[in-house]
Chain A
């Protein structure tokens, strides 16, 4: 019987744990541990993207500011990536990220990860494929959220 904490670990690190060992050896030296306290802003909307984060523990609210208020767009969990605009040079974040609980991330400095992907396109392609899977999942989740929000309430049964 495999303890649940080990299964959770593979879910939380799936962006990295599915890479080949040779690719992982090139990426890991770039990675940093980051910790954020409850309520702490991880990045603000419009900031220059400085890190690609992989959430390994905790929950993060992705928010946009509308009418002077923070509107939550999505809640991110372990295994989700955020700040992926860091992979584009001169790109800025589209949302604000705020820690809802104590959060731990594995963070890759944007410039260094771009350089590593440029130096080794095969590794860069493998990373982009994994990242695209995560982004697609997030889009699907957002789509379901929108559908549920706008679904017509079911007609009450006649008596």
Chain B
């Protein structure tokens, strides 16, 4: 799974020798490997290729990318700080972090 837009790390877990995160891309959330971005933690933005975060992205750059996607009509809002699950469509809503 690859995404052209940066994603925001919402949760972190360690499974055996791997570090993974729940990463939000617009209105979609996916588990992503974080092994290649050891400095990235919850709240940081990362670029993802085939399921692996490959680089950190500065917050300002991520926000500009989302604003561009909103301009192009891909999203309704560039607001990424979605504290409330209600902000997400039902299909992508997920239980609060355990």
Contact = CB atoms under 8 A, between A and B. Distances in A.
Interface stretch (B44-52, B60-68, B73-81): B44-52
A25 B33 CA distance: 13
B31 A5 contact: yes
A33 B2 CA distance: 7
A33 B50 CA distance: 6
A145 interface: no
Nearest to A19: B35
Between B17, B20, B51, the greatest number of chain A beta carbons within 10 A of the residue's beta carbon is seen for: B51
B1 interface: yes
B61 to A, nearest CB: 21
B36 A25 contact: yes
Interface stretch (A6-14, A111-119, A149-157): A6-14
A5 B21 CA distance: 11
A10 B15 contact: yes
Between B16, B35, B50, B52, the greatest number of chain A beta carbons within 10 A of the residue's beta carbon is seen for: B50
A6 B20 contact: yes
A13 B33 contact: yes
Q: How large is the interface on A (under 10, 10 to 19, 20 to 34, 35 or more residues)?
A: 20 to 34
Contacts of B51: 9, 13, 56, 106
Contacts of A147: none
B14 to A, nearest CB: 8
A31 interface: yes
Nearest to A54: B50
Given A2-B13, A17-B18, A28 B1 contact: no
Contacts of B2: 33
A16 B50 CA distance: 11
Contacts of A7: 15
Interface string A6-46: 11011001001110010011001101110000000000000
Contacts of B20: 6, 9-10
Contacts of B52: 16, 24, 28
23 contacts: A1-B98, A2-B13, A2-B15, A3-B31, A6-B13, A6-B20, A6-B31, A9-B51, A10-B18, A17-B18, A17-B33, A18-B17, A21-B35, A24-B36, A25-B36, A25-B54, A28-B49, A28-B52, A29-B49, A31-B49, A31-B50, A32-B50, A56-B1
Interface of B: 1-2, 13, 15-18, 20, 31, 33, 35-36, 49-52, 54, 98
